[in-house]
Chain A
Amino acid sequence: MTPAETAETPTPVSGTEVMTYREALRLALREELQRDERVFIMGEEVGVFEGAYKVTAGLLAEFGPDRVRDTPISEEGFVGAGVGAAMIGERPVVEIMTINFLLVAMDQVVNHAAKIGAMFGGEVRCPLVIRTPNGAGNQLTAQHSQSFEGWFAATPGLKVVAPANPADAKGLLKSAIRDDDPVLVVENLAIYKERGEVPLDPEHLVPIGLARVAREGADITLVAHGFATVRALHVAERLKRDHGVDAEVVDLRSLRPLDVDTVVESVTKTNRAVCIEEGWPTYGVTAELAARIQKACFDDLDAPVERVGMAEVPLPYAKGLETAAMPNEDRIAAAVLTTLGLRG
């Protein structure tokens, strides 16, 4: 424990409470702000406006403008400021309104934050957290409907997590804040309103690099992260009801480090895999999964590994086109049935 952390041992808190994903994130932020003076929040509209998606609502009033810092619209500037502050011991939590805007700060994330540890031979660390939602579905159109987490997960030096439910949102965000490396926490626009049981214990941490079997099943493995996990779970219930298919759902939770072991254990049991992501699959998270599954499970596979993601077009505005392009439940179900040989 460092001197800046609270010296007293936290009182164990038991029990859970049903809350939204957004509230779970807020709870994690509040607990970590209380626990560690070095933690501060920075981003566009996080303070007075109470967050573009209301994740930080109430925190300015509780912690003041030094801990909850509004920034100008300067993503490269304030992401870089987060990197610099982290280099001398602060623990900045930078909010980027959506992952689309993180591209403006790509140089600071990929060329700076990700390089610090290795390029300086371990002499400096960068305990930075960047929180940002990906996702589509609200007719936000081509520039505001993207999911780039695969780009960041492809970068050695970064860690990337993508919680799929409120409990993991709390536990992974807290782990990210306490981690000594730059961690990108990928949220999702549609998932903020999802509800679930959340442990109230301020020491509820979800380890980085550990996937979760979100639903047990014997017939096929669905691998997903973030909101795609929510979709996969819905599809699994529907397939059970309509086709008697018993699908297992693996929620990756972390993308880098990637828990391939949990995926392999599942595929070894079910012999079939469909990988799902919100973003474009070509060169994507599902491409990486397919490569690793075919190598690790070559003798266990009864069908080619299938992938479902965003159709590879800039997302259009018209509702019907948008829905058709997304990795919606109909498309996931069709992929599963095809992989099982149940669909012509």
Chain B
Amino acid sequence: MTTVAKSTLLELWEQMLLIRHFETETERAYKAALIGGYCHLSSGQEAATVGTMHALGSDDLLITGYRCHGFALARGVAPEAVMAELFGRAGGCAHGRGGSMHLLDVERGYYGGWGIVAGQLPLATGLALALVRQGRQQCVLCELGDGAINMGAWHESLNLAAVWRLPVVFLVMNNAYGMGTSVERASAVTDLHRRAAAYDIPSLRVDGDDLLAVVEASSSLLSGARSERVPAVLELVTYRYRGHSVADPGFAYRSAEEIEEHMHRDPIQRVRALLVEEGLADAELEGVEHAAQERVAAAVEWARADPPPAVSELARGMYAPGSAAQFARMLAGAPFGERELVFAGGLGQ
């Protein structure tokens, strides 16, 4: 069993608390209409998120689906930049263009939250292929939900990763439901990691709410990908406390008792118990929890104060710098408003 130093364990617990409080505040802000669009919370999945991010090297690359607030935070993106993105503000990590589902931080090797189920898997193989071509001994962690494994992109990506020996680990966050459809109703094989056998690549299925087990399993598979170019599947069995998105109360397809039962095995409480075993005092732990709350409150305040993106930059980033000249001859007969909104809005500048 992996052991992590007490100080490390405490840091990881802090991250878990940060994510939990961040998600709680996010839901509150959503209900106050400060956040719009789709918004998928990850409360209950903190051990799986923080454990894998701890195992992922700082030079390694990360790509995820849309339930990505926790991954961004655990990867070290400032809570201010994440919250501002949810608020649709200029200081958000995607400058208010992406929102909840499309967080990223290229400097931290995080190539985005993606919103089409399984769409990020082919991208992950491409990132891994580029690492190989560039002779970099790093790997890619590709997060996906249990629903994504029924998409064709799953099959094509795992096959390509195996055929080309790509350094990528596919992390299946099995939280029991793809939206409102249980794994049992969606997948012929409910031990999802067994699907990896079809591609003859290693796989593990681990209690995703056990932080140390997550660190151990992900370290092992990521290390194989990094140093031996062995792609792998890591299935983390976890549970989301909230609905699929904030619009889903989460009770149509599961019982209150079921949710309650999982909350009794809460991953944050499990790590807290370890810290108590390690001799940390309640007062100290309460202080850490209070600090996480404060951190999130500060992020909310920062996001509130951050200005929205200017309409004069509507087309920002859509095309690479220099593209404006290519589009210069496209204005004649253009649709109403195109000149003011798109051409004056930073197209290719």
Q: Which residue of A lies closest to B163 (CB)?
A: A72
Interface residues as binary, A149-161 with B (CB distance below 8 Å gives 1, 0 otherwise): 0000000110100
Q: Which residue of A lies closest to B127 (CB)?
A: A84
Find chain A residues with CB under 8 A from B94 CB.
Answer: 119-121, 123
Kindly specify which of B44-52, B106-114, B274-282 makes contact with the partner chain. Answer: B106-114
A107 to B117, CA, bound (A): 11
A211 to B332, CA, bound (A): 14
CB pair A209–B326 under 8 Å, yes or no, is yes
Per the CB 8 Å criterion, the residue count for chain A at the interface is 62
Interface residues of A in 104-145 (CB under 8 A from B): 107-108, 111-112, 117-125, 127
Find chain B residues with CB under 8 A from A119 CB.
Answer: 94, 97-98, 102
Contact of A260 among B129, B320, B332 (CB under 8 A): B332
Contact of A209 among B122, B163, B325 (CB under 8 A): B325
A4 to B325, CA, bound (A): 25
Cβ of A80 within 8 Å of any chain B Cβ, yes or no, is: yes
A78 to B127, CA, bound (A): 12
Find chain B residues with CB under 8 A from A88 CB.
Answer: 61, 111, 127, 130-131, 134
Q: Which residue of A lies closest to B102 (CB)?
A: A119
CB pair A260–B331 under 8 Å, yes or no, is yes
Find chain A residues with CB under 8 A from B315 CB.
Answer: 118
Q: Which residue of B lies closest to A298 (CB)?
A: B333
CB pair B319–A181 under 8 Å, yes or no, is yes
Kindly specify which of B1-9, B154-162, B209-217, B291-299 makes contact with the partner chain. Answer: B154-162
A294 to B153, CA, bound (A): 43
Contact of B119 among A108, A207, A261, A297 (CB under 8 A): A108
Given contacts A84-B126, A112-B123, 20 further A-B contacts (CB under 8 A): A79-B122, A80-B156, A81-B122, A81-B160, A83-B122, A83-B126, A84-B127, A85-B127, A87-B126, A88-B127, A89-B134, A111-B119, A112-B116, A121-B98, A124-B104, A257-B327, A257-B329, A259-B329, A259-B330, A261-B331
A77 to B125, CA, bound (A): 8
Q: Which residue of B lies closest to A81 (CB)?
A: B126
Per the CB 8 Å criterion, the residue count for chain B at the interface is 56
19 cross-chain CB contacts under 8 A? A81-B122, A83-B123, A85-B127, A107-B116, A111-B119, A112-B114, A117-B318, A120-B98, A121-B95, A121-B317, A123-B104, A124-B112, A180-B320, A257-B326, A257-B329, A261-B331, A264-B332, A292-B333, A296-B333
**Contact flag A122-B119 (CB < 8 Å), given A85-B129, A88-B61:** no
Find chain A residues with CB under 8 A from B133 CB.
Answer: 40, 66, 85, 90
**Contact flag A72-B123 (CB < 8 Å), given A123-B106, A260-B332:** no
Question: What's the nearest-Cβ distance from chain A to residue B210, in Å?
Answer: 31
CB pair A80–B319 under 8 Å, yes or no, is no
Q: Which residue of B lies closest to A121 (CB)?
A: B95
Cβ of B323 within 8 Å of any chain A Cβ, yes or no, is: yes
Interface residues as binary, B295-338 with A (CB distance below 8 Å gives 1, 0 otherwise): 00000000000000000000111111111011111111110000
Q: Which residue of A lies closest to B130 (CB)?
A: A85
A180 to B349, CA, bound (A): 13
CB pair A80–B106 under 8 Å, yes or no, is no
CB pair A122–B125 under 8 Å, yes or no, is no
Cβ of A293 within 8 Å of any chain B Cβ, yes or no, is: yes
A5 to B160, CA, bound (A): 28
